[in-house]
């Protein structure tokens, strides 16, 4: 049984990169913009705060300046598509499974805490840097934007610099 359920191999990374680049080009050609991810979260947060605490949203600076962000935004629809696309690929390759993925020498609990803390950092940083790895770094690099290269270098540079200190999590 278990042999049959072995997940399929991943795609060749260079082929995958070309395909990802083609998706990016289609996005540019159709909508004049690249891919993104964290912007969808921002739209949900802004819309959520405006619904839950409208009074508060009227008084805090950020929500006033971004009141035009609504759930009906390009990135929200794109991210819904990502969930569907990821699920389809996982289903075809037999990788659908509830699990906590972690390094071999770390407990599941610590892994989940580290993931949450990492998410907080990434959420904060993506807003400060006006985009995450997809929106700012990948898309920015494809259009040769200076900001894209700067953000990419900062993300990967920092992660490399800190890799030694976080090795317990992964090695």
Partner 1 sequence: MGPLVANEIISPDTNLFLAFLIGIGFGFVLESNGFSSSRRLAGMFYGYDTTVLKVFFTAAITGMLGLLFMSLFGWIDLSLIYINPTYLWSAIGGGVIMGVGFILGGYCPGTSFCAASIGKLDALAFIGGIFLGVLLFTEAYPLWENFFNAKYLGSPLLSSVLGLSRGVMTLLIILVALGMFWVGEWAEKRFARDDYKLNQK
Partner 2 sequence: MKGRLILAAVVIPLGIIIAAVPENTTKPYKLTAEELLSEVKEGTQFMTPDAVAQLMVEKDPSLQLIDVRSSHEFEKFSLPGAINIPLENLLSAEYEDILNQDVKVNVFYSNSSNVANQAWMITRQLGYQNNYVLEGGLNYWAETIMNPQKPAATSPNEEMARYNFRQGASAALGGASVEQAAAPESKAAAVPAVKAQKKKKSVQGGC
CB of 5 to partner 1, least distance (A): 14
Instruction: Please list, in sequence order, all residues whose beta carbon lies within 8 angstroms of the beta carbon of residue 67, skipping any fewer than 6 positions away.
Output: 46, 50, 57
Instruction: State which of residues 51, 58, 70, 89 lies at the interface with partner 1 (CB under 8 A).
Output: 89
Say whether residue 170 binds partner 1 (CB under 8 A). yes
CB of 95 to partner 2, least distance (A): 22
Shortest CA distance to 42 belongs to which of 15, 67, 16?
67
Say whether residue 50 binds partner 1 (CB under 8 A). no
Alpha carbon distance 142, 149 (integer Å): 10
CA distances from 12 to 5, 89, 93, 165 (A): 21, 15, 14, 31
Alpha carbon distance 154, 136 (integer Å): 12
CB of 145 to partner 1, least distance (A): 5
Q: Which tokens in the block code for residue 134?
A: 């997809």
Residues that bind partner 2 (CB under 8 A): 12-15, 17-18, 31-34, 36-39, 57-59, 61, 63-65, 67-68, 75, 126, 130-132, 134-136, 139
State the binding partner of 58 from partner 2, partner 1, none, CB within 5 to 8 A by kind.
partner 2
Say whether residue 54 binds partner 1 (CB under 8 A). no
Looking at residues 122 to 161 of the shown chain, list those that interact with partner 1 (rule: CB under 8 A): 122-161
């Amino acid at each position: 049984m278990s042999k049959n359920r072995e997940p399929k191999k991943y795609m060749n990374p260079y082929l995958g990169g070309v395909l990802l680049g083609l998706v990016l080009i289609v996005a540019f050609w159709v909508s004049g913009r690249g891919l993104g991810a964290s912007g969808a979260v921002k739209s949900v947060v802004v819309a959520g705060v405006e619904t839950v605490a409208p009074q508060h949203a009227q008084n805090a600076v950020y929500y006033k300046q971004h009141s035009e962000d609504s759930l009906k935004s390009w990135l929200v629809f794109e991210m819904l598509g990502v969930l569907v696309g990821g699920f389809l690929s996982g289903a075809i390759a037999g990788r659908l499974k509830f699990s906590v993925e972690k390094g071999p020498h770390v407990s599941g609990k610590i892994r989940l805490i580290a993931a949450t803390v990492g998410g907080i950092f990434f959420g904060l940083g993506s807003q400060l840097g006006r985009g995450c790895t997809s929106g700012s770094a990948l898309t920015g690099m494809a259009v040769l934007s200076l900001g894209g290269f700067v953000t990419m270098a900062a993300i990967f540079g920092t992660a490399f610099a800190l890799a030694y200190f976080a090795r317990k999590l992964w090695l």
